[in-house]
Structure 1
Amino acid sequence: MVAQDNRVTVADLLDEVYTKAGDLGIWAVVRRAAGLRLMVDISLSDAVTSILVRGKQIAVGKAYSEASLISVPMPHDEIADKINHFCREDIRDRVLTQEILIYVGILIRSEPGLFQGLLTLRVGYLILLITSELARELHVTQDEAYDYLMQLSPFEVKVRLRQVLTGYTGMSNLLRQQESLHVKQKESDIAWVVLPGIAEGIEVPPGGWRRFRQAEGATGRVPKEFFKQVWLLMQHCKGLVIGDKLERRNRLDSEIMLSEMTAGERNFALLVEHLLNKIEAPEYRQVNIEALIELAAIAGNNPKLQIEEYIVLDVLIGHAVRLAWLENHSQRSDRYDEDKASAWRSFYNTSPRDCASYILKAFRFLTEFVKDF
């Protein structure tokens, strides 16, 4: 009979993996083990305080809400709780976010000029900019570059972060270029159509459209023929990314899907439903459904439409939210970064028809037409 003292827990094994991977410099494994063990750097609180005392606020994760903001000093364990709640589904992101915050704390003390003009430091956006630069260098997709980023040493991450802050405007322009959708068709030949909303004819529901979307998104209900529409949409693009765009498992490749599955196949419906159900906020899940319906309508009215890239719903919806907000707050165009939480709250309260209209505008905004084809 084995004595209790000889028992080895999963936590013990993870600690051993963490230590050995660190010795070997396998940083992606180090970050995963640290994330699974919910490790928190004790200097995190000091780093955050260094940022806040210089008049900045911090947003963690990809959520655009007041709850994701850090505007007052707090203990490291409370900061970690906020990071764990709002960061991406990849558990390594929690550890990388801590690293970024600590490096920002160091850089803002030594080189405060790097942060001029930045009121809110959005850690998720900084990670996205680093990922975009890696994607450009390596000629890979952003989700593939994100995996490469996780393999970098802490020192290399710090160097990359400084490069991003040094060329912040240029990096933002690079991201915009990578988000573009190249279309092999003349713009004048495209029928830009706004499909009647999925709630067409319904008066503003009690509690507003956000509550309506929360209820609809929570049920997981989709319109009839929805999955067939998504399948047909995939005939017009390289693929779809539903949910967190830096998570490779959220990518649906059109060539694979269309060759292996049919429009009415249950497995295809289950796959799309699975990606939608991974989206935590029900109102955002519902907006994704509305966006897919509008995109399918555009594709259906333009049989020759062909998009060379993956359609990333996170990107498309993000631009729709921005365009909707700036349409009514044009005087705030240079301060949109400060208004994102309000912009998202406002967008959730737009009618489904208005949502479809802004999805169309965002699609047109992202579209670049290939002249020679």
Structure 2
Amino acid sequence: VPDFGMWERGSKYNNGSTELHSSSVGLAKAALEAISGFRLFGNQGCSWSVIFVDLDAHNRNRQTLCSLLPRDSRSHNTDSALLPCISYPAFAVDDDALYSQTLDKIVRKLKGKYGFKCFLWDGYRTANEDKNCRHYKPAEMKLFDGIECEFPLFFIYMMIDGVFRGNPAQVKEFQELLEAVIFQSFEGHAVIPKYYYVPADFVEAEQKNHGSQKRFPSNSGRDGMLFLWGQALYNIAKLLVDGLIRPKDIDPIHRYVPRQDQRNVSMRYSNQGPIENDVVIHVALIAESQRLKVFLNTQTPQQVEPIQIWPQKELVKAYCFLAINKKLGLSGRPEGPVGCIGTCKINNIYRILGKPIVCYPIVFDLSDFYLSQDVMLLIDDIKNALQFIKQYWKMPGRPLFLTLIREDNIKGSRFNPILDMLAAFKKGNIGGVKVHVDRLQVEQNKEYHNSFEELELPKHSKVKRQTSTPNASDLEQQPEISTEEWLLKSTFEILQKFNDCDCLASQAQLASILLRKDYDLERIYRRAGMRISLLYCVVFTMSIVRLAASLLTKLVDSLAPSITSILVHGKQVTLGLFGHEEIVISNPLSPGVIKDIIYSMCSPHGEREAVLQQELVIHIGWIISNNPELFSGMLKIRVGWIVQAMKHELKIRAGDMPPKDIYQMSPSAVKQLLLDVLQPQQTGRSWLNRRQIDGSLNRTPLGFYDRVWQILERTRNGIMLGGKHLPQLLMVVSNMLERNPELEFQEAVDLHRLVKDAFAGFQKDHSRLDRSEKENNMEAFYNTPALGKRNTSSYLSKAVMIQLLQGEVKPSKDDPCSVS
């Protein structure tokens, strides 16, 4: 949940906006770990007085924290608020490398002689801050550069961290720094100032030469008001350093456990991840029907009685009764899905009102969105779920993964992939995860670890066999009408054709035409709602399925979590069609809001685009969590532009033949195409195609944005950007300015003009070598390699140098070159 952070200012720019802060997420994660399994009434309590923590939500917190770090938020590159998060008291990070990277960044960027800055360009209590304004004006942050207040408090955190981690050098270093900035009260007690600031008279000199001016302490301690946070931590640090208390005295539940001691203590409340173990997942195969049971030699739901098999959504209903307390105003657990760990937890067997219950994972839930019908996606989801369980299983006992085989899973081309997956189960290894296939009764006599005797048993739907699908001839219907032709006809004629037509695919096309004519959706649905719903359920032609799904305004499950996964990796998401208006998403949103955005931005320009973009958001959320390097150089994930890149890739593959229709491809094929497009610098692609794909993806070279900043520092009137351009150009400009410190642009940098000048030089050389006439087609220029003989960089460099030399050259005082 985006919040205002520890300093209650939200965004770094203090403009009233909230952000997702890793310091906030980390403290919440640590609190949940510490309270998990806590018995409110000790040995005198029972099952209803135990705190249960949603393990899947907790693991999402861990993934979110690890994705955000070493940053604190989108606008905070680093922040001292991370110190109590990654160290005492939270110890929220269980990855030593990530801890070291985060701590090093904090010390490197924020440490000063008097303490640590809260964050760079922090205006709190500085001389330049306007005390009468709640929020800052745009660009006001620059006024605080170099004069941020420094807080001795964080020296104390570093001392405590050094004691916990057995680093006496760190303790000594920060103890000496702290002793230089504390002062004595009239009674002779050590007083920790809240902060040190630069007086107004010294601000200009300090900004010219950082660290050159003396800072003065705040009035804390001098005005009779102590900074209690700092005083309390100072007392703890002194007791630790002097050996009067031990680390475990202030960490009674072992939030921090040294690596050498991890095997000797209970890890229940520790921040540490699971010790490497060889977990084997118990897999029980459940067939939907008796026919499948005989064919696959598995069990049916009836054969495992008295154990009942529930889908996870029924367990969600049961969980809604947890934590209800009318006196405290607690309404119970929200209706969120239970993830893989929750459905596998403690052998997956619950006892509710005396009845044993098992749940199959969320990947087997039947959704009304068509992704659940793609068997290749189902198999991928199963493998990913098993990998997730293996990685994050921390409890005793063997996890149980209930696998449901439905009739539809083995029809037609779906049979062989499912058979291969079952064969891998039998071999005991699937995707590198060890599994053991056995009947469910083997687990029946084991202890029921989760007892909810007090819960009211919700009415639930048992696993039922799906109705048979129509004949293949009905499924493969193609539209009998031409969309372009019927767009010209009247609404009355379209409605008449709609009622007379027996082809479901044609009816879907006619419904979409009516929508384009601003016909009332409610009237269409009253006339055709059942037909479109039937079409959506039975037709296997993906283009028509997507059209029907869009007409029914379907929403895919887990859309909001997928967008959150993208955001926590420091990216923004834009929804909308290529070439049309887009909406930027910077903070997590609810599913309803996302649905409104997608359908309002996409449907007016292409009915199928709304559901295709939902597919891509789901795939991107999974890819960025597992392969974030594929999105390096991309600050915004522009979904509409990614669709354009995928369409362009299909054109490249087709050559002279008509390209495939992306809307006709299966969801698993769309996912694979997305992965192919995201692969940087694929061999075999021409330079023109590479640039077209990278341009559509908004992918920039390494260090691109730092170079833009360097150019802006040396360019009085900024950068003009119009027409076509190469991202590489700004890298060339930056290199030229770096090598020639005596030069600067006197006018705005017009990138369009620089590209035109470079292209003119390319044309001149090309026509002279080939003895041909100059052509205005820039395709050959864009298809030229960036490096090598007669490359684009050389032409761009020449254009940059000509423009630089046409301006006034200002010698630099630091320039070692001179003429006497």
TM-score range, shorter chain: 0.3 to 0.5
For normalisation by structure 1, the TM-score amounts to: 0.44
Identify the structure with the greater helix proportion.
1
Which structure ranks higher in relative contact order (CA pairs < 8 Å, sequence separation ≥ 6)?
A: 1
For normalisation by structure 2, the TM-score amounts to: 0.21
Larger Rg: 2
